[in-house]
């Protein structure tokens, strides 16, 4: 025994079929690339500064902090900039810059403690000597931290978009 099924549509509308609602227009995705790059740049500066302060405070490099710099830069780029394919690459490059900035700041803080000189003086007035000290102190772990930050930024930007 079958049950009666009502006909599709509105029974009071006569023979008129229901009309679907039009989809709202979507915002253009490419218009936020500049904002995404700006957000990634600011995130790289802030996260790199925090990484340098932590590194200078404990006087050693921390891998997970470098990954954190990359994640923050990637999330900022992806959330603000959207899904443009330029943003993950730019976020990876900016995160490497943020980690380098953090390492230089950390070295300045460590040397400032040992020499009794303000770290800001070392960072802004002796930047050449600071980069030379970074070049002498770098090892394979330094490059691993840079690669991890770049990978985290690239992945974070793609997932956040």
The tokens describing 16, both together, are: 């008129």
The whole-model pTM stands at 0.77
Task: Count other Cβ atoms within 10 Å, centred on residue 41.
Answer: 18
* Mean pLDDT per 10-residue section of the chain, whose length is 161 residues: 67 61 59 89 96 91 88 94 90 95 93 91 90 89 92 92 75
pLDDT score for 30: 47
Query: What distance in Å separates the CA atoms of residue 73 and residue 43, rounded to the nearest whole number?
Result: 5
DSSP conformation class of 27: P
């Amino acid at each position: 025994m079958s049950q009666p099924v009502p006909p599709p549509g509105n029974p009071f509308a006569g023979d008129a079929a229901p009309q679907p609602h039009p989809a709202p227009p979507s915002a253009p995705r490419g218009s936020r690339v500049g904002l995404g790059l700006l957000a990634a740049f600011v995130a790289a500066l802030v996260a790199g500064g925090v990484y340098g302060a932590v590194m200078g405070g404990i006087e050693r490099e921390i891998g997970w902090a470098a990954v954190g710099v990359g994640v923050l830069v990637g999330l900022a780029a992806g959330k603000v900039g959207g899904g443009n394919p330029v943003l993950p690459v730019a976020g990876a490059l900016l995160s490497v810059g943020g980690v380098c900035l953090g390492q230089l700041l950390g070295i300045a803080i460590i040397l400032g403690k040992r020499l009794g000189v303000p770290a800001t003086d070392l960072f802004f007035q002796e930047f050449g000597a600071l980069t030379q000290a970074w070049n002498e102190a770098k090892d394979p772990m330094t490059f691993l931290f840079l690669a991890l930050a770049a990978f985290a930024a690239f992945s974070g930007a793609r997932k956040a978009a």
